[in-house]
């Protein structure tokens, strides 16, 4: 990868991936795009306002910077997609098709993430295999399954070098929560630091797969730099780090804030989404084909999250 275009660069993943890529490949070689102006550190390198539903804009920017790799992250997340399903389809699928077309026309490498949202109520819940039944009952999940198949299609039909992972819930102190079902696992650290208490919108005992953002960013780069000859699956690799319910975060936080209290105020929309997702997923295929390995467990992540959140709040 020499010239990389990142769509959705101001979102949860993009806001951190942009910096990581610029550190790795050089500031001028990574072009961020989003539908709004960049602020702060995102202004440290090339940035363009691009609406991914506008194919012409995408094509113009890719040509302007002589791009060789697209990392397509622009999307409406799970909870918001249930509120605005038609908008979600237009952004998540329309934007993906446009980005894939640019990759096809300009012969670019291509990454786009899928999600544990691609699974559904009939998917095996525990240690969910790489290849399994996928019948999601959310618009976000439908988008993700269609996106996995579309990326496979562009590889087999047109030879586009498409690659992707199924992300679990991602936890970070950098970007604010953006409408995802697993965002409680970000909010809980802020509320623990500020109030020593948190009301979880996800119910007790609801396990979901999670991952700390540094592991997610490393996985993207590792997959994109891996030998294509070893990639049998290419797109939608299961990757996993932490399987946890709200009370597991409570226990981990109490090791640092002993009087932290967790209570519940369940949101039925997000709870229903969570109930349709796996408790844990099997990432052995990703480990075998390109060496994936997570570095953070819940305790190591919690220690770092609390430290970073406290530092962030002090500066505000």
Same domain, 154 and 175: no
Tokens of 127: 């240690």
| Distance in angstroms (rounded) separating the CA atoms of residues 275 and 69 | 36
Looking at residue 295, what is its pLDDT? Answer: 98
Are 164 and 148 contacting, i.e. CB atoms less than 8 angstroms apart? yes
Q: What is the span of the domain harbouring residue 204?
A: 170-210+240-315
Which one, of 11, 47, 56, 55, lies nearest residue 27 by Cα? 47
Same domain, 206 and 253: yes
Same domain, 253 and 271: yes
Distance of CA 57 to the CA centre of its chain: 24
Q: Domains in the chain: how many in total? A: 2
The CATH number of residue 155's host domain is 3.40.50.720
Looking at residue 177, what is its pLDDT? Answer: 73
Same domain, 90 and 196: no
Per-residue confidence in pLDDT tens, the chain, 316 aa: 899 999 999 998 999 999 999 999 999 999 999 999 877 656 689 999 999 999 999 999 999 999 999 999 999 988 889 999 999 999 999 999 999 999 999 999 999 999 999 999 999 999 999 999 999 999 999 999 999 999 999 999 999 999 999 999 999 999 777 777 899 999 999 999 999 999 999 999 999 999 999 999 999 999 999 999 999 999 999 999 999 999 999 999 999 999 999 999 999 999 999 999 999 999 999 999 999 999 999 999 999 999 999 999 998 7
Question: Of these residues, 140, 154, 155, 212, which one is catalytic?
Answer: 140
Looking at residue 41, what is its pLDDT? Answer: 58
Residue 229 lies in a domain: no
Residue 187 lies in a domain: yes
Same domain, 193 and 150: no
Torsions phi, psi for 163 (to 5 deg): -145, 155
Looking at residue 193, what is its pLDDT? Answer: 97
Taking residue 153's Cβ as centre, other Cβ atoms within 10 Å add up to: 14
Looking from the CA of 95 toward its CB, the CA atoms found within 13 Å total 25
DSSP the chain: --SEEEESTTSTTHHHHHHHHHHHH-GGGEEEEESS---GGGGGS-EEE--TT-HHHHHHHHHHTT-SEEEE-----HHHHHHSHHHHHIIIIIHHHHHHHHHHHHT-EEE--EEGGG--TTS-SSSB-SS------SHHHHHHHHHHHHHHHHHHHH---EE-EEE-EEE-SSSPP-S-GGGHHHHHHHHHHHHSEEEESS-TT--EEEEEHHHHHHHHHHHHTS-GGG-SS-S-EE--SEEE-HHHHHHHHHTTSTT-EEEE---HHHHHHHHTS-S-B--HHHHHHH-------HHHHHHHHHHHHHHHHHH-
* Torsion from C-alpha of 13, 206, 276, 77, nearest 10 degrees: -20
Final residue before a domain boundary, out of 168, 201, 223? 168
Residue 294 lies in a domain: yes
Which one, of 164, 48, 168, lies nearest residue 100 by Cα? 164
Same domain, 96 and 194: no
| Distance in angstroms (rounded) separating the CA atoms of residues 9 and 146 | 22
Residue 215 lies in a domain: no
Residue 228 lies in a domain: no
Looking at residue 77, what is its pLDDT? Answer: 86
Global pTM value: 0.93
Final residue before a domain boundary, out of 168, 193, 225? 168
Q: How many residues does the chain have?
A: 316
Same domain, 174 and 164: no
Same domain, 300 and 276: yes
Same domain, 200 and 88: no
- 140 included as an active-site residue: yes
Same domain, 124 and 190: no
Find where tokens 């980005």 sit.
99
Same domain, 199 and 293: yes
Residue 106 lies in a domain: yes
Looking at residue 79, what is its pLDDT? Answer: 83
Final residue before a domain boundary, out of 114, 140, 168? 168
């Amino acid at each position: 990868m020499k010239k990389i275009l990142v769509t959705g660069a101001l979102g949860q993943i993009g806001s951190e991936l942009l910096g990581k890529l610029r550190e790795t490949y050089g500031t001028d070689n990574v072009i961020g795009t989003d539908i709004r102006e960049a602020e702060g550190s995102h202004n440290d390198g090339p940035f363009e306002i691009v609406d991914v539903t506008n194919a012409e804009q995408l094509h113009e920017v890719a040509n302007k910077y002589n791009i060789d790799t697209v990392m397509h992250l622009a999307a409406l997340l799970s909870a918001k997609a249930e509120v605005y399903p038609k908008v979600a389809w237009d952004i998540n699928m329309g934007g993906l098709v446009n980005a894939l077309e640019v990759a096809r026309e300009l012969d670019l490498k291509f990454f786009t993430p899928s999600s544990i949202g691609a699974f559904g109520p009939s998917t095996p819940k525990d240690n969910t295999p790489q290849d399994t039944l996928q019948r999601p009952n959310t618009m976000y999940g439908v988008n993700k399954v269609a996106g996995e198949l579309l990326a496979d299609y562009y590889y087999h039909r047109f030879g586009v070098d498409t690659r992707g992972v199924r992300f679990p819930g991602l936890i970070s102190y950098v970007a604010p929560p953006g409408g995802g079902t697993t965002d409680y696992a970000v909010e809980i650290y802020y509320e623990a630091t500020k109030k020593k208490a948190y009301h979880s919108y996800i119910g007790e005992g609801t396990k979901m797969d999670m991952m700390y953002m540094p592991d997610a960013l490393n996985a993207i780069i590792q997959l994109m730099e891996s030998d294509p000859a070893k990639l049998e699956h290419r797109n939608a690799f299961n990757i996993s780090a932490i399987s946890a319910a709200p009370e597991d975060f409570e226990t981990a936080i109490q090791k640092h804030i002993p009087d932290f209290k967790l209570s519940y105020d369940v949101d039925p929309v997000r709870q229903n989404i969570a109930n349709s997702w796996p408790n844990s997923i099997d990432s052995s295929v990703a480990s075998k084909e390109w060496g994936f390995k997570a570095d953070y467990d819940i305790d190591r992540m919690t220690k770092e999250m609390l430290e970073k959140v406290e530092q962030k709040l002090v500066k505000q």
